[in-house]
Structure 1
Amino acid sequence: MAKDLKERYEEYKELGYTVFERLHSKETTDGWIRKYHELQQNTPRNADGTLTTWFASTCELAPLEMLPIVSHPEILDFAEMVMGPFVQLDNLTIAGGERNVSKEEARNKVALWHRDRWGKVPTTERYESPLSCNAISYMVDLDDDYGPLRVIPGSHRKPITLTDEEIFVPHKDEVIVYAKAGDVVFTHNMLLHTGTPNTSGKNRYFFSVYYNRTWLRHTDNHSGPNVQKIVQQARLRNDHRTLRLFGIDEQLEKRANSGFRVADDIQWAEWAAADKAAIKK
């Protein structure tokens, strides 16, 4: 039975991540792969003649396909539960052409242990709401050849540090996440995690849908004509949630100076409900 969002939130606070299994259909993920290759063919080659393998500001490049990913209602509901109704799209990146390595080269290696943008080394084991989150969306089934995701559960609440040598080798407390096509792994920005070298000889396709709070800078360029059309339509609907995704938070001044007399989870839920009720059909 699928977890409800409250169960996920408790898991997330404890572990630093949660997996939304099969959130997207095979038809959807196959469509994303086709779009990835279309973007490759329509993008000038690099100076060395190679194809581009990572694409950023993807909502501008392919708004029809990408907007449903960043605005997926279950993911946004959860993001607002975790960060409050302050959820902005920092960046949407699609990848599929990472370097493949030999099994010998990959033996006892990981890609790079790290915490994400706006993170820090925790100073207390008390849970802190994140400044940013990653909704990592996979388009293929990860196995030992493709290279699974590795996480250190609870490292968003523990002052774990790693040397320059340790960031490239497996960790004694790691958990290996064999995500499937259509899964979304939603992580806390202070969770230590890494990929595993890809030895499959095939492309490992995935999205990084990275959210941060609206008073922080966003990495993607939201000023292009396609994103601005999304913004204009959101204004007509009085859709604060979509406006916030693209850097426009008209509620921020009032909510950032609310007095903070009510517990965050209660206040955030009230604000989120008010934003949904304000949308014009």
Structure 2
Amino acid sequence: MEQTNPDLNMRLKAFKEQGYTIFKNVYDQDTMASWIRKHKQLQEDSLVKQQWWFANTCELAPKLMLPAVNNPLILDFAEMVMGPYVQLDNLTLAGFPSISKQEAENKVSGWHRDRWAHVPLGEDYTHPLSINAISYLQDLTDEYGPLRIIPGSHRKEIVLKDEERGIPHQDEVVVHMSAGDVVVTHNGLLHSGTPNTSGNIRYFFSVYYNRTWLKHTDNHNGPNVQEIIRKARANNDHRLLRLFGVDDHLQARANSGFLQADEVRWAEWAAADKAAIVKK
């Protein structure tokens, strides 16, 4: 059974080659404004002075955050990339304060690959163990700090010395994303932010997914997430259950014999999961 969405198929091809794809205009201004208000509230409520980085935000604000975690377009693509094994590793809402242009001159925020990655051993494409679906809540102008990517670095044995991790790279692409866009990155892709010199806060929203047999960083045991799990169970919604660490199909699918192409089998399983949902 082949995937039928031509746009997602083209994105998958580009993702395999480049290590990322950008979905335009996924979130509207009202949604992003609500996330910014939540960040300000979390700062006000925090016992830690000047805290900028907040995790476990689906537990902290489930009605506000669940639509982003469970975004059907992003999850359809995630299941094409990783199979129907997609789990929420962490949901992060962060702000980066501004610094002076002198401090930021010829600097990047820090080159890195993401959690569960490894340095590629060759040029063959390998399915990621995790992906990041990142949104920025303002346009990434030069002042706010664009995203920097080294295309194809998820398939190249690129390593950097300590002194090279904070400066621009000769093979980088500078990406001026718009507010509300979502960039999905392979965990092996080398990327970096750019220091913020706008005079305002640079807001960052990350939905990080991994495979369901890995540990997750966020705590899914809180009462709000447990209520999401309860409702998903009542609806027989396996995709939503998996997002929060409950994968009823894991043992069978992780020991399926692997005699079909991964993406063909994944599409069959994903379609079966959607068909099994109880409509209420």
Q: Identify whether the pair has TM-score above 0.5, normalized to the shorter chain.
A: yes
TM bucket, shorter chain: over 0.9
Matched with 2:163 is 165
Cα deviation, residue 3, structure 1: 7.4
Give yes or no for contact 2:55–2:93 (8 Å, CA) kept in 1.
Answer: yes
Matched with 1:36 is 39
Rounded Cα–Cα distance in structure 2 between residues aligned with 1:43 and 1:159:
41
Structure 2: gaps (5+ residues): none
Which whole-Å deviations, capped at 9, do the CAs of 1:63-85 have from their partners, x for residues lacking one?
Answer: 00100001000000000000000
Q: Does 2:25 correspond to 1:22?
A: yes
Matched with 2:238 is 240
TM-score normalised by structure 1 residue count = 0.96
Rounded Cα–Cα distance in structure 1 between residues aligned with 2:223 and 2:8:
34
Give yes or no for contact 2:232–2:238 (8 Å, CA) kept in 1.
Answer: yes
Rounded Cα–Cα distance in structure 2 between residues aligned with 1:278 and 1:221:
27
Matched with 2:79 is 80
Matched with 1:180 is 178
Cα deviation, residue 30, structure 1: 1.3
Match of residue 14, structure 2, among 8, 11, 14: 11
Rounded Cα–Cα distance in structure 2 between residues aligned with 1:225 and 1:153:
41
Rounded Cα–Cα distance in structure 2 between residues aligned with 1:236 and 1:173:
50
Instruction: Give the counterpart letter for 2:83 in structure 1.
Output: G
Instruction: Give the counterpart letter for 2:66 in structure 1.
Output: L
Matched with 1:154 is 152
- Which aligned pairs between 1:135-154 and structure 2 lie closer than 5 A? 135-154=133-152
Matched residue SS, 1:119: coil
Q: Does 2:261 correspond to 1:253?
A: no
Rounded Cα–Cα distance in structure 2 between residues aligned with 1:250 and 1:261:
22
Rounded Cα–Cα distance in structure 2 between residues aligned with 1:62 and 1:87:
21
Rounded Cα–Cα distance in structure 1 between residues aligned with 2:6 and 2:101:
36
Matched with 1:68 is 67
Give yes or no for contact 2:90–2:209 (8 Å, CA) kept in 1.
Answer: yes
Cα deviation, residue 197, structure 1: 0.6
Instruction: Give the counterpart letter for 2:82 in structure 1.
Output: M
Cα deviation, residue 42, structure 1: 2.5
Matched residue SS, 2:205: strand
Matched residue SS, 2:226: helix
Structure 1 3/43 Cα, relative in aligned 2: closer, same or farther at 3 Å? farther
Which whole-Å deviations, capped at 9, do the CAs of 1:118-174 have from their partners, x for residues lacking one?
Answer: 000100101110000000011110111111110000000000110001111000000
Cα deviation, residue 54, structure 1: 0.9
Matched residue SS, 1:66: helix
Rounded Cα–Cα distance in structure 1 between residues aligned with 2:204 and 2:100:
21
Give yes or no for contact 2:91–2:207 (8 Å, CA) kept in 1.
Answer: yes
Rounded Cα–Cα distance in structure 2 between residues aligned with 1:105 and 1:39:
28
Matched residue SS, 1:104: helix
Instruction: Give the counterpart letter for 1:137 in structure 2.
Output: S
Match of residue 124, structure 2, among 108, 123, 126: 126
Matched residue SS, 2:41: helix
Rounded Cα–Cα distance in structure 2 between residues aligned with 1:192 and 1:51:
29
Matched with 1:57 is 56
Instruction: Give the counterpart letter for 1:10 in structure 2.
Output: K
Rounded Cα–Cα distance in structure 2 between residues aligned with 1:38 and 1:3:
41
Matched residue SS, 1:18: strand
Cα deviation, residue 43, structure 1: 2.5
Matched with 1:223 is 221
Match of residue 104, structure 1, among 102, 105, 111: 102
Instruction: Give the counterpart letter for 1:64 in structure 2.
Output: K
